[in-house]
Chain A
Amino acid sequence: MGWSGASLTVAGCGFTSIESGVETVESYVQPQDFVVPGIGIYYATTCTQCGGGCGMHGRVREGRVLKMEGNPETPNRGRLCGLGQALVQHHYNPDRLKEPLLRQGGTLQPTTWNNAMALLAEKTKNAGDKFALLTGPLSGHLKVLAQNYVESLGSRNHFIYDPLATKVNRSVSERMYGVAMPCYHIDQAQLVVSFGADFLDTWVSPVHFSSQYADFRKANDSKARGVLVQIEPKMTVTGANADRWIPVRPGTEGALALGLANALLQDPAYAKNVPASVAASVRGYDKTHVGQITGINSEVFDRLLALLRERTPSLVLSGPSAEGHVHGAQNAAAIMLLNFVLGNVGKTITAPARVPFPQMAPADGDTVALNAFNDGLMHGRFETVFMHDVNPVYTAPAFLQLKDNLKKAGFKVLFTHYRDETAEESDLVLPLDSALEDWGTHIAAYQPEGVTITLQQPLMERLYPDGTRSFGGLLLELLKQHRPEEYKQWPDYYSYLQSALTKNKSAFKDPAADDGLFWYQTLSHGVLNVAAPQEQHLSATPGIVNVNLPAASAVDQEFPFQLVPSVRSGFRDGRHANLPWMQETADTMTTIVWDSWVEIHPKTAERLGIREGDILEIASKTGSVKTQAYLFPGLDPDTVAVPLGQGHEAMGRYAKGVGVNPFKLLAPSFENATGELAYYATRVKISKTGDRVTVVKDEGWRPGVLSTQQGRKIVATMAADKVKLFREE
C-alpha cells in the first residue's frame, strides 16, 4: 500500500519530542526528513480494543493519526474489525480525561500530577496486604511492572478481572487437552460445530478466525467447502453464517454433545479414539433422551450426526453460552470430548508454542478475581485500592453490591481514560495516554503461529501533554518510589521497553546485529517473532473421561425465561459505548442503533401479546431493566436476550443514558468447577410497562415485520453441492 515504513521514534512518541515540552498537536515546524505534507506515513502498533491483539498500521498525516489498517505481518493478516477502526475515536474522544481528579469534599476536583504522585506514595507506604490492585488481563512488560509493583508493596492482592473471561473454557481445555488455549485450525476443517462460540465476531480472536473462515469456505481440487453448524440459544453473528443453526435449550449443550458422542461411539472406528470408559459413561444419552433434554428433534440430530461422520476433519468448539452455567465446565468437557471421539486432536486442534517469558506470558482475567476483590472490600481488608483497565462498578452484577463495598476501601485510585462509573466512586482519578499515544508490548492469549510479541507505539504526540501519562510510565515511577535502585536506570517506560527488548533480542528471529537497527526494525514491523519457540503437545486422551451432567432442575415458574446477556463486537463489556461509530453502526443481527433491546421470539411475543417497541421490564431475582422489545426469530422460544455494553450512567456524552445494563441482572450463580460467574444461568420474567417506543433501526420501521427480500433477488443462495468450484488461484 505504499507506506514508508520508517518509524523512528521521534515523529510520534511522547517522550523525545522535537520541540520538547511546547508541543501542541499541529504540523511540525521541523518535521522528520521523511515527512512529506500530503503523504501519509504508516506506523505499526497493536490494537487494545479486545484481547485479540491484532497488529495495526496507523496512517499519520501532518502529525496526527487518521485511520487504522491491519498489519499484514500479524495473525490478523492485514485486516481489522470495526472496533479496531474505532480506536481513533477512543484517542480523539471529546470526553477523554485531561487532568487528574481528586475527591475533595465529596466531589472530584482537578489536581496536579505532583500532588497525585505524592498521594500515591503516601497511601502505599507499608501497605502490605492492605493494598489491592484490580486490573484487566495483562501481558508483556506491563504485566511485569504491575506484578513487580504489587510485590514491592508486599501485597499478594493482584486481581486480574475480565468480565467476558473465557476462564471455564481455558480451565477445561487445560484438563482435557493439556493446554489452556489450543490452536484451532478452522481453515483446515471440513466441518466446524460450534456450541455458541462466536468466533467470527466476539470469541477469542475474531479477525484471525474470520481470515481462517474465508479459507474454510473456499473449495478447490483438494478440499470441499467447509460446513458450519452453530448450536446456541440465541443466534450470534457466527450463527447467522452457519449452514445449519440449531436453537438449543440453554444449558443442555453438554447433553447434546454426549448424545452425539454416544451415537458415534457405536462405531468402532470412533470408539478406538478414546478409552472404553468414555463409551460407558455416555451410554445413557440416547437420541430420545437427548431430544427430551435439549428440545432438538431427531431429524436435526440425525443430520448433525451424518455431517460429523462424513465431513472430516472436523472441529468442535465450546463457547460461552454452553459454559456460562453452574455446570458449565461439564458442558465444555462434554463438547471437547467430541474432538477426541472424532479424532480431531492433533489435526484441527493443536498445541500452541510455549511462551518463553513466563513473566510476560498473558495473564487472562476471570470473574473469580472480581468475587475475591469484592470479598476483600466487603470485609474491609483493603486500605488502598488501585484499579486499571476495569470498570467494576458498571460490570459487577448487582448482587455483589460492589459499589457499596467499594466505599469501605480507604483510598481508591482509578487509572483510566474516561470518567466512568468507577471513576465516580473513586478518590483519585488519573488520566492515561490513549492507546495511540502509549508504548507497550503485548502477547496475545491466542497464539496461532509460534509466539509473537506485538509492539505498541505512539502514533502522534500526546493530545494533552500535561494531562495524561502512560500507565507503564506511571508504574515505573511508582516502582521507583519503593525500589529506586532497581529502576532508576530507566528514565521512562520507553527506555525500559527498548532496553528490555534489545537486551533479549537473541530470543527473536533474525535480530539485526546492530542494536539500533534491531530496534528500528522492531518498531517498523510492529511484531517480534520468538525464534524456535518450544513446542507443546496436546494430550492424546481426554483429561476428563466421565462427564457428569446434572439432572434438569425444575423450572422456576415465576421466572419462566432464560436470559442471554449477549456480547456485541462493538461494545464487548461496555468499555466502547462511548465510541460514536460503535453506537451508530447498526447491530449486525437486529440493525438497532443507539439503544438496548430485548430479543423475543415472535411466537413467544404473540403468546404474550407483546408488540415490537413495547417497553418491557426484564426482572431477575436480583435486578431488573426496562427496555424495548424486538422480535427476533433466532432464539430458543423460552430465551430472551439483552445485549451487554449499554446502560452507562457516566463515561461521556455518547454512552451516558443510552440503553440498559444487563450486567446488573445477573444471578448469583457460579460455575461449579471454576467458581466463575455463570452468565447464562439467569432466569427472568417479563412484564409490560405499558409504554411503547418506535425501535430505531436501519431496517424497515414497520413494527414486528421481519425483513425479507420480498421475493426479489438481492441475496441469492446456492446449494453447496451444486456450486461450481474454481481452483484457487
Chain B
Amino acid sequence: MSITYMLRDWTHYRSTHPSADINKDHPEGYKWAMAIDLDACTGCNACVVACYAENNLPVVGKEKFAHGFAMHWMRIERYWNDEDIETPQHGAQFMPMLCQQCEAAPCETVCPVGATNHTPDGLNSQVYNRCIGSRYCSVNCPYKVRYFNFYNYPEQEHAWPDPLPMQLNPDLTVRTKGVMEKCTFCVQRLYEAKSKARTDGRLVKDGEVTTACAQSCPTGAITFGNLLDPYSKVAKMWRQQRMDLYKDVQDKDRDGNPENIRGYRVLEELRAYPSIIYLERVRDAQA
C-alpha cells in the first residue's frame, strides 16, 4: 500500500479538472473521441442493436423495461418540437445518447471505491470488479447514461437461454448484479488494436479500429477516432467545427457563432468536457 503509488495514480487517473494540454493529459498518444452528425442520423437504431451484440447487453424483457431497468448503453431519443407539436411538419428530432466519456467526468470523483477512472487514452473507465454498487456515479451523471445491473441477468433472470450464450463476446465480461456499466467506446476493440499496433511499433491508424455503433451506422453518422491524430477524420471534424475539448464555452459560441458552424456538445455549461461533439441537425427553411 504505497503512498507513492497513490499519489502517482492520483494525478494520472483522478484529475478533476483537465489541464489545457491535451498531450499531457493523454501521455499514450491517444484521445478517443467521437463526432455524431445529427443531420445524418435517421434514428434507425442500428447502432443500438450493434451495441447489444458487441457488448453482451442483457435483454431484460417487458416487465423489467416497464420498471426502468433497460440496459441499452446507447439509446436513440426521439423528441418533438414544441412549436409545431400538433403537426410536426419538420419531422422529429433524434438523439443518439451514449456515455460522453467526459474529460472532467462528474461520475469519476464520486465513486467511493474508485471503480471509475480516467484512462491515459482518454476514456472514462468502469472497473466492474471494483464496483460495489453505490450508484453515486449514476446520480452525478448529467446525461444519465450509466446503467446499473439491478438483477443478475445471466444467472437468475435467464437473459440468455441456451444456445444464446454462444453469441456472447468473449472479449468482455457478462456483468452480474450490483455492478454499474456504461458505454466504453468498445474498449475491448481499442485494446486489441492498440496491442497490435504496439507490436508493430506504431500508433493505431485512423480507420483501423472503430466502435460497433460507428461501424454499423447505415448513414455513417458516427465518426470515431483518435483526437490526437491530426489526420484522423474525427480530429478534422473537431477542427472544422472549431471545438476545443477543454472549453466550457467555445470561442465561436462566445461570439454568437457568426459563421453558423454546427458543432456543439450537450450540456457543455456543466463543464464535464465531453469527448463527443454533435453536429446540429439541419432543416431547410424553404421547405
Residues of A within 8 A of B (CB): 1-2, 25, 61-62, 64-70, 76, 78-86, 88-89, 91-94, 200-201, 206-207, 210-211, 213-214, 217, 225, 227, 229-230, 235, 237-247, 303, 306-307, 310, 463, 569-570, 580-586, 588-589, 591, 593-595, 602-603, 633-634, 653, 658, 694, 696, 698-699, 706-709, 711-724, 726, 729
Contact = CB atoms under 8 A, between A and B. Distances in A.
Contacts of B280: 716-718, 723
Nearest to B260: A722
Given A213-B42, A707-B79, 15 more contacts: A2-B208, A61-B170, A66-B53, A66-B167, A67-B53, A79-B220, A85-B49, A227-B284, A243-B284, A244-B89, A589-B78, A594-B62, A698-B65, A714-B266, A721-B286
A211 B284 contact: no
Given A67-B53, A581-B52, A696 B62 contact: yes
B78 to A, nearest CB: 6
B45 A82 contact: yes
A715 B80 CA distance: 10
Interface in B125-167: 161-164, 166-167
Nearest to A310: B286
B62 A244 contact: no
Contacts of A585: 45, 48-49, 52, 72
A586 B42 contact: no
Contact of A225 (B221, B260, B284): B284
A225 B79 CA distance: 23
B91 to A, nearest CB: 4
A79 B42 CA distance: 14
Interface of B: 38-40, 42-46, 48-50, 52-54, 59-62, 65-66, 70, 72, 75-82, 85-95, 161-164, 166-170, 193, 196, 208-210, 212, 215-221, 236, 240, 259-262, 264, 266-267, 278, 280-287
Contacts of A581: 49, 52-53, 59
A603 B46 CA distance: 32
A694 B81 CA distance: 24
Q: Lowest 3 CB-CB distances: which A-B pairs, in order? A: A210-B218, A82-B49, A594-B62
Given A66-B169, A581-B59, A713-B266, A588 B76 contact: yes
Nearest to A633: B88
A91 B167 CA distance: 9
Given A82-B44, A85-B216, A586-B45, A594 B65 contact: yes
B89 to A, nearest CB: 6
A245 B282 contact: no
A634 B88 contact: yes
Contact of A718 (B61, B169, B282): B282
Given A2-B196, A720-B283, A86 B95 contact: no
Given A76-B218, A588-B76, A724-B262, A92 B65 contact: no
Contact of B46 (A82, A463, A715): A82
Contact of A67 (B40, B54, B85, B208): B54
A217 to B, nearest CB: 5
A726 B37 CA distance: 13
Nearest to B237: A726
B108 to A, nearest CB: 23
A530 to B, nearest CB: 25
A707 B80 contact: yes
10 contacts: A25-B163, A25-B166, A92-B167, A210-B42, A243-B91, A588-B78, A634-B88, A707-B79, A715-B94, A719-B285
A43 to B, nearest CB: 16
Contacts of A229: 287
Nearest to B216: A80
Nearest to B61: A594
Contacts of A588: 43-45, 76, 78, 94
Given A227-B284, A716-B264, A237 B44 contact: yes
Contacts of A718: 260, 262, 280-283
B54 to A, nearest CB: 6
A80 B167 contact: no
Contacts of B75: 586, 698
B65 A1 contact: no
A715 B282 contact: no
Among A25, A89, A569, A584, residue most surrounded by chain B Cβ atoms (within 10 Å): A584
Contacts of B163: 25, 92, 94, 463
A245 B219 CA distance: 20
A719 B218 contact: no
B282 A716 contact: no
Nearest to B54: A67
A81 B44 contact: yes
Given A247-B87, A633-B85, A240 B281 contact: no
B164 A201 contact: no
Nearest to B240: A726
Contact of B91 (A1, A242, A306, A709): A242
Interface hub of B44, B86, B267 (most chain A Cβ within 10 A): B44
A729 B206 CA distance: 14
Contacts of A61: 170
Contact of A88 (B53, B66, B88, B210): B53
A718 to B, nearest CB: 4
Contact of A633 (B48, B49, B61, B87): B87
Given A241-B91, A706-B80, A729 B236 contact: yes
Contact of B282 (A69, A225, A580): A225
A708 B287 contact: no
